[in-house]
Amino acid sequence: MDSQGSTADDDSPAIKETSSSFKKFHGPQSIGELKRHLYGDKQWKIAGNSIASVTTSVIPITVICNNLSKNWQTLLNFSYNTNDKERNEVTSLVYIIQTIVDISKLLDSDSLLLLPAFNRFVRLLSRIAMLPIVDETLKNDAKCARDTFYQLFHLLDSSPHLMKYLTHAYEWTDKEQFLDLPTRRFHNTIKKEGAILYETLLYVIFYTSNRACMFTVFEENDLDSYPNILKAFVRYIDHYLKITASSSNIPDIFFNTIPYNLAAQENLSLTWNLVDKTVIVPAFVAAGYPKAVLEWIQIPQLKVEHRKALVSIIHNIARDAKGAIELRKEDGVTVLERIQKEVIADVDESMHVLFYMAYTLLAREDQIEQHVKLENPLLRNIFTNLLINAITACFSVLEKQGMSQSGFHLSELLVVLEKLFVSDVLGKYLLDIQLRSDASTVINYTKTFADTLVACRGALTDGDKRGILACESLINIIWSISFYNPDDESNDDVKKQLSDFRSNLKSHPELILVLQGLKDNQNDAAKCILWNLNPEQKQISDPVLPYSGLNRKSTLKPEISIWISASGTTPDLDICSQLVNALKKNSSNQYVVLVNNDDTSWEKITETIDEATIVLFLATDDYYTSRYCRQAAIYTTNCNKPFILLWPYQEKHSCMKGWLKKLAGKNADPVPFRKEWLINGTETIQLVNDIFDVIAERTSHRFETKRDTFLEGSQPGQQLKKTTTTRPSAINSVVCNIA
């Protein structure tokens, strides 16, 4: 009896006699014979509890399958189509997979599934796909890798029986059959063998697609033609994890290698590698992966290989802007905090780093700062590993060995550091972690980042999306560090790094040339870096002189102009739009209200600030994390321009942290308001009056509102009439102007 429980004697004299015709094995001939036996009218029927054939003997097909199994290692050496010029081992593999997928359409009640010889050959498909020549061919032929990936995805998409199985696997079989337990009835055996066949085929398709995708360069929208496949993947894994977990512990694939477990894990691995290609992540977001993976990762019975794959998928989705938004909508930060203990309990340090990379991309800066303030040694160790990987990847670039290191692409690491360096607290925390290139030399991170930018600058124009992202992240990290003032530091090591960073502009001519070149190509970040680090050097930064009425001839006719500085996010721009309408509706004066955001060029920002009578900063969370907004605030204060901080109540933490707290001053609070005040008549008038009170105080402009009139030259707060309100007036809690 073989592993399938059959008593068929494959070494019978009849088989030996028939097999003599196969002494010289020929793969295409055997595959062709197999197809001829199985196509056309149904040939294999169930008669009672035995196998019977209508038109032919059971021996020939058994011999065919036995010969295919016996010679499985040579099957890829043959050509299975007429175009020999494009033939290679991978095209032969795809043809064989296609043949078995076509045969699998005949399932239903056919007893072909009960032939042990056929099942044995099908199970060998995975070993054929794992032959070293397959991986070698895919690695050395990018076109072949891409073609193979799409051929297999098209095969899956155009096979209704496999797609139905993916989305309705629970209708085919139950958990006991998947776990390979004995079955009582013959038709249940058909279902069981059918499930095993399908799972084996899916495993081979997933595995080969996975290997092919690793060597494929994807373009934007490449997976948009396969939404049904991605949605089917979600249902397939959802069923596997939830149903299996509800009945028993999810098996460890290293000790339970039945096809069901292997196929599910390979699908997770395939998804992991695909979402690592940031350009195609939107397709997975559209298929519902953000919600699904956050549900899956909370399943207590997960094994380490499943949890690591899911953490990696979350991390890669979070690298995409829309993906991060969807993960936050599903309360991703809370979910990650909930499973933190289970993740950290695992000994795999690489998973710890992946977990905190994902958490960093989703959480607010103040949430991460809270973890840092707890002085958790584990967190410091994780951030140290993150820095080690990033610096090592930078060294790899400097040594011209590529942008990948230890399984990470440089862009993956830098985009996380970019988020951390937005916060002065977190940025300086990282700079305080000392890494040494040898026993005595401490690595200067800022210099390493600058050197790496010089080395890989060509990727900005000639690189792929990940190369471009790596360069942009380096620029943004340097931009964030350029805000830090060495004179404010008490930590000598951090102070030295910041001082050295500034001196690099004078001692690092290549860096100067790179930044100057980027500036000439209208790169606003480079312009701002140069302005921050060398405000005295006109030839580098071309700074605008401190504000005065003679700075620039005004093009604004009204005597007063208000500039609202806001981030470019949709919620902030919506608030700005309502605020502009409220200001215009509740004033009889002629004036201009301008709104700038992250999409506005740096030249336009400086010009508008120079023209403005007063600046209103919409101090939301998004404003705090915007480098453009921080740059505008610095420029405003350097120009001695009057300003007001508008603070939305619902984001009460935004103004009381980091650089915004310094901007507000130690003894002054921002002007508070609620968004609903902009659509409520009484509250809107009060808010507008508060703003105009400050304008009168700061600018001494004659300004009329529907409430009262401010006289030019009047004392701050002096007014002809004043209305009462149910909330405290903000006039006495206006921020101070910090030069």
206 in the same domain as 58: yes
Segment 360-401, tens digit of pLDDT: 999 988 888 888 887 777 788 888 889 989 999 999 999 888
Asked which of 166, 194, 216 is the last residue of a domain, the reply is 216
Segment 175-218, tens digit of pLDDT: 444 333 333 333 455 566 777 888 899 999 999 999 999 999 89
Segment 540-556, tens digit of pLDDT: 333 333 333 223 333 33
Decide if pLDDT at 24 tops 80.
no
206 in the same domain as 237: no
pLDDT score of 575: 78
Decide if pLDDT at 416 tops 90.
yes
Give the count of beta carbons closer than 10 Å to the beta carbon of residue 387: 19
| Cβ atoms of residues 614 and 698 within 8 Å | yes
Decide if pLDDT at 336 tops 80.
yes
Q: Among 46-55, 591-600, 611-620, where is mean pLDDT lowest? A: 46-55
pLDDT score of 30: 84
174 in the same domain as 87: yes
Segment 48-104, tens digit of pLDDT: 333 334 444 444 778 888 889 999 999 998 888 756 667 789 999 999 999 888 888
What is the pLDDT confidence band of residue 512, given thresholds at 50, 70 and 90? confident
Instruction: Tell me if 106 is assigned to some domain.
Output: yes
465 in the same domain as 316: no
Decide if pLDDT at 411 tops 50.
yes
Instruction: Tell me if 587 is assigned to some domain.
Output: yes
566 in the same domain as 694: yes
Inter-residue long-range contacts of 47-50, CB under 8 Å, 24+ positions, other chains counted: 49/186
**Beta-strand (E) ranges in 271-414?**
404-405, 408-409
Decide if pLDDT at 13 tops 90.
no
pTM: 0.78
Comparing 636 with 135, the larger pLDDT belongs to 135
Instruction: Tell me if 49 is assigned to some domain.
Output: yes
Partners of residue 52 on adjacent β-strands:
45
For the ranges 333-337, 520-524, 596-600, the maximum mean pLDDT occurs at 333-337
514 in the same domain as 409: yes
Question: For 544, what's the count of Cα atoms within 13 Å in the CB-facing half-sphere?
Answer: 27
pLDDT score of 647: 74
502 in the same domain as 629: no
Q: Which string of b and e fits 106-126 if b means at least 16 CB within 10 Å?
A: bbeebbbbbbbbbbbbbbbbb
Pairing type for strands 643-648 and 671-673 reads parallel
174 in the same domain as 237: no
Range of the structural domain that residue 632 is part of:
560-733
What is the pLDDT confidence band of residue 457, given thresholds at 50, 70 and 90? confident
Segment 641-650, tens digit of pLDDT: 888 887 766 5
Q: The domain that contains 696 carries what CATH number?
A: 3.40.50.2300
Decide if pLDDT at 353 tops 50.
yes
Mean pLDDT over residues 700-713, rounded?
41
588 in the same domain as 531: no
425 in the same domain as 325: no
pLDDT score of 592: 59
672 in the same domain as 693: yes
- Provide, rounded to the nearest whole percent, the portion of the chain with pLDDT above 90: 26
